[in-house]
Amino acid sequence: MKKIPKRWRELSIKQKLSIPEKYFKIDRKEIEKIRKISDPKKRLIEAARIQYELFKDIHTYLTVWIAGYASDITIRQYFNSTSNLLKIFMKDIPLDKKGEFSWADIKRSIKIPVEMTNDLAEETGIHLGDGNLTISTEKAGYKSYRYSISGDLTDEYFYHVTYIANLMKDIYNARGIFIKRPNKNSIDSKYNSKAIVNFKNKFLGLPVGSKKNAHIPKIILEDNEFSKRCVCGIIDTDFNITSSLAISGKLHSLHITKEMHEILERNNIKHVFRVYKDYARFYISKKEAIKIVKEWQLHNLKHLSKYAIFEKFGKFLPYTTTSERLALLNKKLNLDDLEKISKSRKLNKMLTNSYIKD
> pLDDT tens digits for 300-329?
999 999 999 999 999 999 999 999 999 999
**Which fold is adopted by the domain 118-293?**
Endonuclease I-creI (3.10.28)
Q: Which range (48-62, 208-222, 326-340) has the least confidence?
A: 48-62
Query: In the predicted model, what is the mean pLDDT of residues 164-193?
Result: 95
pLDDT at 141: 65
Q: Per residue in 254-272, pLDDT tens?
A: 999 999 999 999 999 999 9
Domain boundaries, the chain: 6-90, 118-293, 296-357
Cβ count within 10 A of residue 138: 8
What single-letter amino acid sits at 109?
A: S
Query: In the predicted model, what is the mean pLDDT of residues 238-257?
Result: 94
Query: In the predicted model, what is the mean pLDDT of residues 64-83?
Result: 88
Query: In the predicted model, what is the mean pLDDT of residues 221-242?
Result: 96
How confident is the prediction for the chain on average, in pLDDT? Answer: 89
Query: In the predicted model, what is the mean pLDDT of residues 83-91?
Result: 75
Report the alpha-carbon distance of residue 301 to residue 55 in Å, rounded. Answer: 38
**Confidence category of residue 241, pLDDT binned at 50, 70, 90:** very high
pLDDT over threshold 60, residue 358: no
**Confidence category of residue 55, pLDDT binned at 50, 70, 90:** confident
Report the alpha-carbon distance of residue 124 to residue 198 in Å, rounded. Answer: 14
With the C-alpha atoms ordered 96, 98, 102, 106, is the resulting torsion angle positive or negative?
Answer: negative
Burial 183-214 (b: 16+ CB within 10 A, else e): eeeebbbebbbbbbbbbbbebbebebeebeeb
pLDDT above 70 as % of the chain: 94
**Confidence category of residue 1, pLDDT binned at 50, 70, 90:** low
More confident residue, 355 or 130: 130
pLDDT at 98: 44
Cβ count within 10 A of residue 28: 10
pLDDT over threshold 90, residue 3: no
Q: Per residue in 150-167, pLDDT tens?
A: 999 999 999 999 999 999
